[in-house]
Chains A and B, each alone.
Chain A
Amino acid sequence: MTAPTSISTSAEQTERLGAELASELAGGDVVLISGDLGAGKTTFVRGACRELGVEEPVTSPTFTIGRTYSGDQIAISHLDLYRLESLDGEDPALLDDYLGADRIAFIEWPPEGREVDALPVDGDLRTVRIEALADGNRSLVIA
């Protein structure tokens, strides 16, 4: 099955697509979001967090690797592995506080290949691939 491609023409629309995905998520789900610098990954997560009831600013987690938010019904983790070369050689407990059955986790600059298989995912593993198109719009493949 090929995942459908959505086109976003604005940051607001990218946020709405994030909100749509968020409405399908439950505790234990992990969403991997990939795309180049400036593609709109944090914008997508911001929309998802708003849908889940987060009111505070959703800012880049690059510096602290992970941020946690409280939604209406569930806790949310927002991770960014940009500064990690890979998960190999990292403390295996690095992500423990951020992943679990009681929370939804969004991971920017996610691990790839067999490192994905090693992620402790209690629920569904979802993927979002955001790409910038030549006309400035973004294509989002949400699977």
Chain B
Amino acid sequence: MTRLLAIETSCDDTCAAVVEDNRILSNVISSQASFHEAFGGIVPEIASRHHIELINGVVAAALGQAGVDLDDLDGIAVTRGPGLIGALLVGFTTAKSLAAAKRLPLVPVDHLQGHVAANFLEPDPLEPPFCCLIASGGHTLIAGVTGHDGYEVLGTTLDDAAGEAFDKAARLLDLGYPGGPAIQNAAEEGDPEAFDLPVSRPDSGRLDFSFSGLKTALAYLVRDLGPAESAVRRADLSASFQRAAVDQLIDRLGAAVAGGSWNAVALGGGVAANAELRKAAADLCDENGLELKLVPIELCTDNAAMIAAAAIASSRDPLPYPDYLPLDAFAEKVR
């Protein structure tokens, strides 16, 4: 049996969890989204300041809800990157300090491997091989998962992330932040075929994404319509944007499904909460006789339980005290 405390602070949420094997004992997420609404996006320095204010309380809550204290742990897992460097450092330093104080081993975890490993958790843990679409504000990735350590990058974004495209589209349409739910709500009354927005297919030799052209097309459409007409047509604009974004994600996911032998398709990241994406992914899986694995929303968005899951599933040994003391967090590319 392995019981870990995990800490995740790569973006705007301060997260801590206690996980025993693949069972979640606690999963505390202190969402800061309401705080950031006024800014139309995440404000990094403010985010890291809030992580500092929240981290002790969030860790205490995770331990308390799990009914354990630091002496009951086998180690501590923590997100090392990628993410906002100031935010990452708060979690990473906290994890190192707690581990060092208790002479516990530390497991640094790649954030994206965490999203993959969310599928290893109860209920209904998923075993490889599966392919996993991770789409969020900072990441867009199709991962080919054949084991518990790492994954093959089948495609990634060449410019903007999918969630970034939703956020910027929402800003263009005066819909507020976060953009994903705002676009989805506005799109409900709209016609997804009202406007012909482009579905990019980058010619990169991989299943890569490009959302910059879609963003630009929407920007020019809004400009050409003018503010009054754009406001009147907001539902149609939202629905048409959402259709183009989802079509691109599903097109690439479909190619990944066709190009490998997988048991299941998994969705992760905040964009995985999008109802149209879920519906289209379900259709894709039906057509191909594959299981669609949808983890609960709180395991789709950033959370610490998935970081613990990645650490526990990994065959690599945790770093013993004091080997991890010189380590630092990284904003990008931790492999």
- Chain B residues positioned under 8 Å from A38 (CB to CB): 212, 215-220
Given the interface contacts A42-B212, A83-B43, A85-B39, does A37 sit within 8 Å of B159 by beta carbon? Answer: no
Cβ of B33 under 8 Å from chain A: no
Q: Which residues of B159-209 are within 8 A (CB) of A?
A: 159-161, 164, 168, 171-172
Q: Are A37 and B219 closer than 8 Å at their CB atoms?
A: yes
Bound complex: CA of A136 vs CA of B220, how far in Å? 8
Q: Which interface class (under 10, 10 to 19, 20 to 34, 35 or more) fits B?
A: 35 or more
Cβ of B223 under 8 Å from chain A: yes
Output the least CB separation between B219 and chain A (Å).
4
- Chain B residues positioned under 8 Å from A65 (CB to CB): 44, 84
Q: Which interface class (under 10, 10 to 19, 20 to 34, 35 or more) fits A?
A: 20 to 34
Cβ of B86 under 8 Å from chain A: yes
Given the interface contacts A42-B159, A59-B160, A136-B220, does A64 sit within 8 Å of B85 by beta carbon? Answer: yes
A62 to chain B: closest residue by CB = B164
Q: Which residues of A24-43 are within 8 A (CB) of B?
A: 36-40, 42-43
- Chain A residues positioned under 8 Å from B37 (CB to CB): none
A64 to chain B: closest residue by CB = B331
- Chain B residues positioned under 8 Å from A59 (CB to CB): 157-160
Q: Are A89 and B215 closer than 8 Å at their CB atoms?
A: no
B215 to chain A: closest residue by CB = A38
Cβ of B91 under 8 Å from chain A: no
Q: Are A67 and B171 closer than 8 Å at their CB atoms?
A: no
Cβ of A112 under 8 Å from chain B: no
Q: Mark A57-76, 1 if CB is under 8 A from B, else 0.
A: 10110111111000000000
Bound complex: CA of A112 vs CA of B160, how far in Å? 24
Q: Which residues of A89-121 are within 8 A (CB) of B?
A: 89-91, 94, 97
B212 to chain A: closest residue by CB = A42
- Chain A residues positioned under 8 Å from B43 (CB to CB): 83-85
| From B45, B84, B160, B332, contact of A60 by CB (8 A) | B160
Output the least CB separation between A99 and chain B (Å).
15
Interface of B with A (CB < 8 Å)?
A: 11, 39, 41-45, 48, 82-86, 137-139, 156-161, 164, 168, 171-172, 212, 215-220, 223, 331-332
Residue pairs across A and B with Cβ atoms less than 8 A apart, 15 shown, are A37-B168, A37-B171, A38-B217, A38-B220, A42-B159, A42-B212, A59-B158, A62-B161, A62-B164, A63-B137, A63-B138, A65-B44, A94-B86, A97-B85, A136-B220
* In the A-B complex, the 9 residue pairs with the closest CB atoms: A63-B138, A38-B216, A38-B219, A83-B41, A90-B45, A60-B160, A64-B331, A37-B219, A57-B158
